[in-house]
Chains A and B, each alone.
Chain A
Amino acid sequence: MQSEKNTSGPAEWLWEAKNDTYELLSQRRVLIAIMVLPVTLLLGFILFLPILWAITAGFFNIHALNPEWKFVGVENYVSILSDPEFWTTLSRSVVFAISSVALQLVAGTGIALLINKKFRFISLIRGVVLLPYLIPTIVVAYMGLWIGNSQWGLINIALLESGFIQNPISFFGNESLAMMSVIVVNSWKFSIFVSIMVLARLQGIPDGYYEAARMSGANAYQRFRDITLPNLKSIILIVLLLRGIWMFNKFDVIWILTRGGPGDATTTAPIYAYQAAFSSLSLGRAAAVSTFLFGLLVVVASIYFVVFKPAEEVRVQ
């Protein structure tokens, strides 16, 4: 065998080497390593290292403008967990996240159902409807800020000119309106994310289901309840998880619109963490807040997976 190889010439040798390489690459473990390792390394640098850094920093007293770290054990955690303001901001985060997800889910699903219909110019309309998701969040926030401004915002001008109101409404400056206004602006863009997901699923439901239901005498509501909704269940569960986590951690839109005000009416936990880092200049405390929020989300997500079993829902499809 050895002697045969030696006498077979360079072309044969190259051919064998090529085959060996293919064989090696075809092995399950090698293929997995090739596919997963680069991403794992990348994630390690941009995700796991910062997480580790934040967890570690939570045990130190770190002035943002001083490179010296002083170990303080769990002092930062004791400090934030005994701070009533932290619990208030946490409850606001929950309110913000639940309300935002609910609004986005309802609006996003509604929009998807509308643009799933077949009528003239539907492709154009779909493009226009999905446009807000392409606008950078910061631009959306500034647009919301100026549209809702109490002095020269479009909404106030329209309401004042049409006589519906006598005095301008301060959407972002009124304690009882600010949280709701922030949720609405935030949901304007992110409802479209839900629409995209739901629309994709809707287009996968065979028309035959609806035809059979119609022939059986089912009305529109019954068709929605018995065909559309069960088919959307898996998407809704995924959207609930993703949007819930993202909304709980939302910072940019709230910061641009209200900076956590008026008073502290829209100060959520991420804003509390940011203020700890860059207003109070206490990086250790901010890291402790972030780590606590991270742990909380991991626990909630785990409960979610156990209770709702979204993986099973997806497999059913």
Chain B
Amino acid sequence: MGTKGERRPIRRRRVLKSAGASATFAILAGCTSNKGNGGGNKGNGGTKTSSGEYPNLSGKEVHFLTDETAEGIQTVLKNFVADFKSTTGASVNFETMGIGGTAQNRLSQLIQAGSPPEAFFNHDHSGSATLVSQELLAPMTEGMQAITDQFGTPPDGTRIKSQGGEDYFIPTTAFPGVMWYRKDIVGDVPRQMTWEKFAQVVEENDNKQGMRSFFALRGKDTCTALTTAIWGSSNGGYIAERVDGEVKAALTADGNMEKWTKVLEFTKRIGQHSPRNADAGCAEAIQAIPTETASISGYVGARPKRQTINQKKPFADKLVATHWPRPKGKEEQVTYGTPKGLVRFNTDNNKASKAFWNFFIKEGYYRKAVLAQTPAAWPVFPGITETDQYDQLKNKLMDKGWTQRDLEVMQWVTAHSKAPAADMTPPNPSIGVFYGALDLAELRYAVELDGMTPEAALKKYNQQIQEGFDKSSGA
């Protein structure tokens, strides 16, 4: 855990940092900053706006990464970068990467080159837990406090804190596990169902209007792994535990194996009412409802609903959100698709990166960026949904086919879920390794389609998960 805070900066090998270039750049940056739209008052030491005071960062460069490519969020980030540059005089190298594994690969390149970026927008929680364990991140406690003051406290399961109490990750949005239903086929169902009730709904509604009642995921894919983790956590099952400070696979741990066995028996039972889709992953789960393949589909987030609306399906407003089913009497938090958030790296440019995120938070860009992702992902800080801007967004969504219930479910599930890494404290630094290997997806396939018993599969994949942890011991 990164308890050393800012004491261990990584040396950078930037070739372009010659004194002459810096001086020239400082002059240029200083000139351009006067033309900015920051609207602040510049003193010798920095700039004051109505929301905060920022240092003069002329001659400093912030390398800023994101893998958010959607137009709305890109607009917010570009405006923010322009505003920050004009207010502080800093230059910003704004780099957008492709989605998927590209961000991880790029980060690895930069870190290996000894030149990590200063800031990353919407880095995933699991990967951030790994970065903290490698002491690569700098604390964000001040920023976290500023957001908490504005928007309340985020769920504990979305935070990454050191033993010293420092926050290293400021969550923005999460992808809550939600079950989407065609109300016009399945009928009204309660917001929270037990496993038994859910199984009954699935069994009674199979093959209605030529479609299966449930869409199960078994392909070797991230969404299969995530939804399997959600099913597991709904019964209190966990994946790993800390033994003498080391992360160990725990699918076969005392008490846990019984929970997972029941999970796999249950998913196999309801999976009989799904298309026999051994190749289904995220894309198929999103499209299952709009293509009328199934009437119920679970997903991490709201894409099934958005796709149904975007494809102008007549049943879009009949597609309703419900909490992920839990066994009777179980109150455990279920797992998210990993939350995303702000991180800053521990470099020799810490002053600039700190000012960068402070500016983002205090000047209103945090709220704008979060709402630009809503409802694809849901805001983690509860107060965001109490703002006027959220109300405007909500009205637009309800005009398009969203229901009050959909929004309430998204909000409730977000507040009552936990990140995959938050199974333990401090968060599991190896959870990204585990999800990358897709072992849970293989486990699901083995039991539901390959005829393996839950017990045998749990033993096999527990060993495989442990081998993955062992191989990833790293430096």
Contacts and interface: CB of A to CB of B under 8 A. Distances in A.
Interface of A: 61-70, 79, 85, 149-152, 167-168, 170-175, 258-264, 275-283, 285
Contacts of A276: 471
B450 A175 contact: yes
B442 A261 contact: yes
B395 interface: no
15 contacts: A61-B475, A64-B104, A64-B108, A66-B134, A149-B279, A150-B278, A152-B293, A173-B445, A261-B442, A277-B108, A278-B101, A278-B104, A278-B105, A281-B433, A282-B474
B437 interface: yes
A174 B220 contact: no
A68 B220 CA distance: 33
A63 B104 contact: no
Contacts of B449: 173, 262
Given A66-B474, A149-B284, A170 B279 contact: yes
Contacts of B471: 79, 276, 280, 282, 285
B408 to A, nearest CB: 31
A64 B433 contact: no
Contacts of A69: 475
A9 B137 CA distance: 72
Contacts of B474: 61-66, 281-282
B6 to A, nearest CB: 17
B170 interface: no
Contacts of A263: 220, 442, 445-446, 450
Contact of A262 (B113, B134, B220): B220
A63 B276 contact: no
B475 A62 contact: yes
Contacts of A285: 471
Contacts, number: 136
A85 B467 CA distance: 11
Most central of A65, A168, A258, A282 by chain B CB within 10 Å: A65
Contacts of A85: 467
A171 B278 CA distance: 9
Contacts of A175: 450
Contact of B280 (A68, A151, A282): A151
A280 to B, nearest CB: 4
B107 interface: yes
A69 B114 CA distance: 12
A262 B219 contact: yes
A173 B437 contact: no
Interface of B: 10, 101, 104-105, 107-108, 111-114, 130-131, 134, 136, 218-221, 275-280, 284, 287-288, 291, 293, 432-433, 436-438, 441-442, 445-446, 449-450, 467-468, 471-475
B222 to A, nearest CB: 9
Chain B CB within 10 A, most for which of A172, A263, A275: A263
Contacts of A62: 112, 474-475
Contacts of B473: 61, 282
A112 to B, nearest CB: 33
Contacts of B218: 173, 262
**Among the interface residues B280, B287, B472, which one has the most CB atoms of the partner chain A within 10 A?**
B472
A interface SS class: loop
A66 B472 CA distance: 12
Nearest to B474: A63
Given A70-B475, A258-B220, A259-B220, A278 B275 contact: no
B228 to A, nearest CB: 14
Given A63-B475, A173-B218, 17 more contacts: A63-B134, A64-B104, A64-B474, A66-B475, A70-B475, A149-B284, A167-B276, A168-B276, A173-B449, A174-B278, A175-B450, A263-B446, A275-B436, A276-B471, A279-B433, A279-B468, A282-B471
B369 to A, nearest CB: 25
Contacts of B437: 275, 279-280
B97 to A, nearest CB: 14
A85 B438 CA distance: 16
A196 to B, nearest CB: 31
A150 B468 contact: no
A80 to B, nearest CB: 9
Contacts of B450: 175, 262-263
Given A68-B475, A151-B275, A168-B275, A264 B108 contact: no
Contacts of B111: 64-67
A260 B220 contact: yes
Nearest to B446: A263
A152 B472 contact: no
A67 B472 contact: no
Contact of B112 (A174, A275, A283): A283
A281 B114 contact: no
Given A61-B474, A170-B277, A261 B220 contact: yes
Question: Which of A70, A260, A278 has most B Cβ within 10 Å?
Answer: A278
Contact of B279 (A171, A260, A278, A279): A171
Nearest to A85: B467
A51 to B, nearest CB: 17
A281 B441 contact: no
Contacts of B468: 279-280
B136 A66 contact: yes
Contacts of A260: 220
B112 A67 contact: yes
Give the top 7 A-B pairs by smallest Cβ distance, nearest first: A261-B220, A173-B278, A63-B474, A173-B279, A279-B436, A280-B472, A63-B475
Contacts of A167: 276
A175 B279 CA distance: 10
Nearest to A260: B220
Given A65-B134, A175-B450, A262-B219, A151 B438 contact: no
B221 A151 contact: no
A169 to B, nearest CB: 10
A233 B378 CA distance: 62
A161 to B, nearest CB: 14
Contacts of A171: 279
Given A63-B134, A167-B276, A278-B101, A151 B112 contact: no
B125 to A, nearest CB: 15
A262 B107 CA distance: 29
Nearest to B224: A261
A285 B445 CA distance: 28
A279 B101 CA distance: 10
A65 B136 contact: yes
Contacts of A259: 220-221, 438
Contacts of B467: 85
A152 B65 CA distance: 36
Given A65-B107, A259-B221, A263-B445, A150 B130 contact: no
A64 B112 CA distance: 7
